Amino acid sequence: MTDLDPRIASIPDGWAGRAPSRKPLRIMPAELFNRSYRPAPDAYLHVAPLRRPPLPLLIACGVIAAVCGLIVWGALAQAGTTPSMQGPMPFIVAAGFGVLGLFFLLAFVNAITASFTRGSWANRQCVAFGTNGVAIRLQGFDFDVPWHEVTAVRATRRKSAGKAPALVPVLRIERGMEHWDLQPAVIDADPVLLYSALHYYWMHPEQRVALGTVATPQQLGGGPQG
């Protein structure tokens, strides 16, 4: 889709989804933030954590991986025992379901890992911002983007992969040719509030000094967290 001038704050209709989080942004002093994340260059950070993967997804991936494992075991155990199980067919079946099972097993392990890393406040993946810039902490990836390097903050939609691509809403932070996308549904804070705050402080550098105080979270809808 064609994006508007990123300097103009704009949120497409329905961008936040049907059941977005209404939680406020949280404030964390650097000492607490740096216990679990790679240190960020700010004394205080205003944090939007990510949600845990949904429980039905965990269960579905685990069940499918287990069923595929049973099919592989059964095919190999029965290979050569009956006329219908002669030849390469049992091994082809085992290989096919083995690959499928491995895919869902990896997805299950990844979801479990994400559940732990997002599960406790001290170990959450997040997007945070402070006086100096934006800190992006994802599973296995850490990025610090100074405000002067941010080239756009957008509430937009991107095309999903597949034969019938759909437009997926994302919060996009851009730095030149690089960008980071987060779907509003995975943000465990109000995504509209997060976009509005990021865009405001990107466009108003003279106001960023307030991000180093504990008063700003009330203005953003949050407050000091104990």
| Report for 57-61, 64-68, 112-116: range of highest mean pLDDT | 64-68
Residues 76 and 140 in one domain: no
37 contact partners, CB below 8 Å, separation of at least 6: 126, 135, 137, 142
What is residue 3's predicted lDDT score, i.e. its pLDDT? 64
The lowest-confidence range among 10-19, 85-94, 201-210 is 85-94
- pLDDT tens column, 119-176: 554 556 889 999 999 999 887 788 999 999 999 999 999 887 665 567 899 999 999 9
| Bridge partner residues of 179 (DSSP) | 174
Q: What is the largest CA-CA distance in the chain?
A: 80
Per-residue pLDDT band for 27 (boundaries 50, 70, 90) equals confident
What is residue 222's predicted lDDT score, i.e. its pLDDT? 45
Per-residue pLDDT band for 183 (boundaries 50, 70, 90) equals very high
Residues 85 and 187 in one domain: no
Residues 154 and 195 in one domain: yes
Range of the domain at 83: 55-117
Residues 163 and 202 in one domain: yes
Residues 74 and 178 in one domain: no
Residues 44 and 59 in one domain: no
Residues 41 and 74 in one domain: no
Residues 62 and 174 in one domain: no
Q: Report the domain count for the chain.
A: 2
Residues 90 and 178 in one domain: no
CA distances (Å), origin 93, targets 100, 191, 204:
11, 45, 60
